[in-house]
């Protein structure tokens, strides 16, 4: 969309290509986890895709519902238990207070990088043009209605509806 | 590094065309850069451009959209309206700065 040669130039100016206005590229991200550490990959990738002008849809399902449930979204936790990537003895993770401490540390690390917490990150994604969808079966299992979910969630939809909405999209399951 | 000529301004750029010399930038040049990517600069554009330039001088790196909205006070929605599709990169280009490296 870029290079209209300016009249005075003697050669074609070197201008970055910012791609086509409407490339048609779409990204669908299925968020199925409710741990603090597993909430971020989907949010970060959605944000990055939107910044590249890509139409982006997030579908929250199963434990991923915790990311959009008003009661839990601001209070996701991180645990060392079952996560060998902390490289600490697994027994430590089971001690009282360890999950709270690990959560606190992870939150601080994320905040220090200037990365927002989950509710604010969702707002940023919506402000960037992203779409949030909630899974019908998860809502039914947890007896939740649209009012119980983050205000920017557009609707509670079935898995088939999501697949239909994201026809042709690249898909990430997290 | 290649050089290119935009509206009579000779500038040093990287392989993609982003400016590499902070001091070669000027406000008239910004208008020409914007024109190259189909933008006419309004006061709102200038507010974002000036924030990005001054923040770069303080921080030594180009602000991400997150930083422009939180520290610069320009809402995310507005940035997408002013610099459609790829606001962070387009804004960096017009401001004569490198692309932002931060993820968020």
Beta strands across the sheet bearing A26-31: A155-157, A131-135, A55-60, A26-31, A170-173
Q: Choose from A10, A11, A15, A122 for mutation: most chain B CBs within 10 A.
A: A15
Q: What is the pLDDT of residue B54?
A: 96
Domain range list for chain B: 26-94
Q: What is the pLDDT of residue A71?
A: 96
Q: What is the pLDDT of residue A5?
A: 52
- Residue A92 within any structural domain of the chain: no
B36 vs A2: CB contact, 8 Å cut-off?
yes
Number of domains in chain A: 1
B36 vs A47: CB contact, 8 Å cut-off?
no
Distance between CA A95 and CA B41 in Å, rounded?
58
Any CB–CB contact under 8 A between A129 and chain B?
yes
Buried/exposed B61-71: b ≥16 CB within 10 Å, e otherwise: ebbbbbbbbbe
What average pLDDT does the structure give for chain A? Answer: 92
Q: Name which residue leads in pLDDT, A2 or A7.
A: A2
Active-site amino acid positions of B: 103
- Residue A90 within any structural domain of the chain: no
From the candidate CATH numbers 3.30.2310, 3.30.200, 3.30.450, 1.10.10, the one assigned to the domain spanning B26-94: 1.10.10
Q: What is the pLDDT of residue A140?
A: 96
Does the structure show a pLDDT above 70 at B65? Answer: yes
A9 vs B6: CB contact, 8 Å cut-off?
yes
Local confidence band at A2 (pLDDT 50, 70, 90 cut-offs): low
Any CB–CB contact under 8 A between B31 and chain A?
no
Any CB–CB contact under 8 A between B89 and chain A?
yes
Which pLDDT tens digit goes with each residue over A87-144?
A: 989 889 889 999 999 999 999 999 999 999 999 999 999 999 999 999 999 999 999 9
Q: What is the pLDDT of residue B52?
A: 97
CATH assignment at residue A48: 3.40.1260.10
Which pLDDT tens digit goes with each residue over A65-87?
A: 999 999 999 999 999 999 999 89
Does the structure show a pLDDT above 70 at A4? Answer: no
Kindly state the average pLDDT of the residues B71-83: 96
Any CB–CB contact under 8 A between B17 and chain A?
yes
Lowest pLDDT segment from A9-13, A27-31, A159-163, B46-50: A9-13
Domain interval for residue A133:
26-79+116-173
B30 within 8 A of B20, measured Cβ to Cβ: no
Nearest to A59 by CA among A81, A33, A35: A33
Kindly state the average pLDDT of the residues B86-103: 94
- Residue A125 within any structural domain of the chain: yes
Which pLDDT tens digit goes with each residue over A26-50?
A: 999 999 999 999 999 999 999 999 9
The proportion of chain A whose per-residue pLDDT surpasses 70, expressed as a percent, equals 94
A39 within 8 A of A69, measured Cβ to Cβ: no
A6 vs B36: CB contact, 8 Å cut-off?
yes
- Residue A94 within any structural domain of the chain: no
Kindly state the average pLDDT of the residues B11-20: 93
Q: What is the CB-side half-sphere exposure of residue A109 using CA atoms within 13 A? A: 10
């Amino acid at each position: 969309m870029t290079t209209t040669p300016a009249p005075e130039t003697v050669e074609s100016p070197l201008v970055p290509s910012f791609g086509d206005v409407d490339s048609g590229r779409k990204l669908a991200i299925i968020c199925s986890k409710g741990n603090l550490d597993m909430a971020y990959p989907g949010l970060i990738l959605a944000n990055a895709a939107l910044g590249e002008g890509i139409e982006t849809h997030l579908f929250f399902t199963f434990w991923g519902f915790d990311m959009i449930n008003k009661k839990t979204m601001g209070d996701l936790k991180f645990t060392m238990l079952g996560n060998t990537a902390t490289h600490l003895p697994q027994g430590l993770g089971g001690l009282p207070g360890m999950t709270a401490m690990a959560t606190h540390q992870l939150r601080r690390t994320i905040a220090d990088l200037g990365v927002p917490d989950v509710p604010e990150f969702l707002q940023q994604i919506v402000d960037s043009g992203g779409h949030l969808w909630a899974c019908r079966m998860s809502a039914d299992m947890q007896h939740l209605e649209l009012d119980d979910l983050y205000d920017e969630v557009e609707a509670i939809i079935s898995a088939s509806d999501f697949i239909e909405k994201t026809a042709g999209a690249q898909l990430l399951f997290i | 590094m290649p050089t290119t000529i935009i509206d009579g301004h000779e500038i040093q750029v990287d392989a993609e065309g982003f400016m590499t010399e902070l001091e070669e930038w000027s406000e008239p040049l910004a208008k020409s850069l914007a024109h190259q990517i189909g933008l006419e600069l309004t006061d709102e554009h200038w507010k974002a451009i000036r924030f990005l330039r001054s923040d770069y001088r303080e921080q030594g790196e180009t602000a991400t959209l997150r930083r422009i909205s939180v520290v610069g006070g320009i809402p995310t929605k507005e940035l997408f309206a002013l610099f459609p599709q790829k606001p962070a990169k387009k804004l960096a280009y017009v401001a004569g700065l490198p692309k932002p490296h931060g993820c968020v």
